[in-house]
Amino acid sequence: MYERFFGLEMTPFSMVPDANCVHLTTQHGDAIAGLAFGIMERRGYLILTGEAGLGKTTALGALWKLVDRSKARSSLIFNPTLTAPEFLETVLLGFGFQNIPSSKAQRLKILQDFLVRSDSERTVATLIVDEAHKLSIELLEEIRLLGNFEASNHKLLQIVLAGQNELVDRLNLPELWQLKQRIAIRLSLKHLDHQAVEEYIKFRWRHAGGTSNTPFTEGAIEAVADWSGGVPRLINGICDNALLMAFAEETRTVETQHIREACQELDLPSWSPKVRHAT
């Protein structure tokens, strides 16, 4: 609605994760690079955790594109609230199989043959599971068993589990101790600090076709950092609503008052949490 008014080519602060618009803060870049390294080096189990809204799904999309350009094949699961049979079926569908048999034994044989064939072709097979904190104990045990597909010195299936911090608590359960032992790489995303928030806003603005100068005043950016707590999803929501308000007033400058009103519209807490620094 306001894109033409501000001279933009697209919406700068979309709430939909966009792998083509990934602002690589140091921590996001490190997370994507670390996961890609673990996959290509065939380390087996890889974990990415972080609070909701910190960009895990966006990072996974960027990881998928990065891995897809290399010699790898990926199966992505973005909704893991499945039964065990549905999960294995979804894994095979992600790898491109059709007409999947109902027998679990036959499904596992198809997967095993695929993994062995991929390995012989020097292709890395990767399973990426988002929202992994929602996985049941039964499914996490199934995932552990999928890691039993091995060559002499490496795993045939690389498994990335990404989820909120509850995933860590779940893996600490006694019945999942064997899975926890197998995790080769653990990575986490933290809240953005004030400088990272400013860089994030400028990046999204330029990506949308804006000039190097955003319409957000210094005070407005500081307010976004405070009200959002450094969570990218909240930054997007606040900035998008603030731009709508500025557009309605026919002003091309976003002031602190616009941010305050946007946060009230979004029913965010009327206090300014201290931004936690990314590590």
103: containing domain: 26-188
**Whole-number percent of the chain with pLDDT over 70:** 94
Least Cα distance to 165 among 58, 52, 38 occurs for 52
Within a domain: residue 13? no
Query: In this structure, are 65 and 104 located in the same domain?
Result: yes
Query: In this structure, are 172 and 96 located in the same domain?
Result: yes
Q: What is the DSSP letter of 134?
A: G
Least Cα distance to 192 among 184, 183, 201 occurs for 201
What is the CA 85 to chain-centroid distance, rounded?
25
Per-residue model confidence as pLDDT tens digits over 51-88: 998 889 888 888 888 887 777 889 999 989 999 999 99
Which pLDDT score is estimated for 20? Answer: 62
CA distances for 123 relative to 69, 72, 157, 158, 243, angstroms: 12, 5, 10, 11, 46
Evaluated on CA atoms 207, 60, 167, 28, the torsion sign reads negative
Within a domain: residue 7? no
Least Cα distance to 54 among 228, 270, 267, 264 occurs for 228
Average pLDDT of span 254-278: 75
Within a domain: residue 52? yes
Q: What is the DSSP letter of 254?
A: B
Residue 278's pLDDT band, with cuts at 50, 70 and 90, is very low
CATH number of the domain where residue 181 is located: 3.40.50.300
Within a domain: residue 202? yes
Which pLDDT score is estimated for 18? Answer: 63
Q: Are 262 and 224 in contact (CB under 8 A)?
A: no
Query: In this structure, are 166 and 61 located in the same domain?
Result: yes
Query: In this structure, are 200 and 106 located in the same domain?
Result: no
Range of weakest confidence among 10-24, 77-91, 203-217: 10-24
Query: In this structure, are 171 and 242 located in the same domain?
Result: no
For the cut 70, the answer to whether the pLDDT of residue 109 exceeds it is yes
> Which of the listed residues 188, 217, 236 is the one where a domain comes to its end?
188
Query: In this structure, are 91 and 168 located in the same domain?
Result: yes
Q: Are 48 and 162 in contact (CB under 8 A)?
A: yes
Structure tokens at 180: 């926890």
Distance CA 88, CA 91 (A): 5
Q: Are 60 and 68 in contact (CB under 8 A)?
A: no
For the cut 60, the answer to whether the pLDDT of residue 21 exceeds it is yes
In sequence order, what are the beta bridge partners of 158?
126
Which pLDDT score is estimated for 66? Answer: 82
For the chain, the domain total comes to 2
pTM for the model stands at 0.83
Query: In this structure, are 163 and 57 located in the same domain?
Result: yes
Which pLDDT score is estimated for 246? Answer: 96
Within a domain: residue 255? yes
Query: In this structure, are 179 and 256 located in the same domain?
Result: no
Least Cα distance to 49 among 225, 224, 172 occurs for 172
Residue 120's pLDDT band, with cuts at 50, 70 and 90, is very high
Query: In this structure, are 163 and 54 located in the same domain?
Result: yes
CA distances for 209 relative to 8, 25, 218, 236, angstroms: 5, 20, 21, 16
> Which of the listed residues 134, 156, 188 is the one where a domain comes to its end?
188
Which pLDDT score is estimated for 17? Answer: 65
Query: In this structure, are 182 and 199 located in the same domain?
Result: no
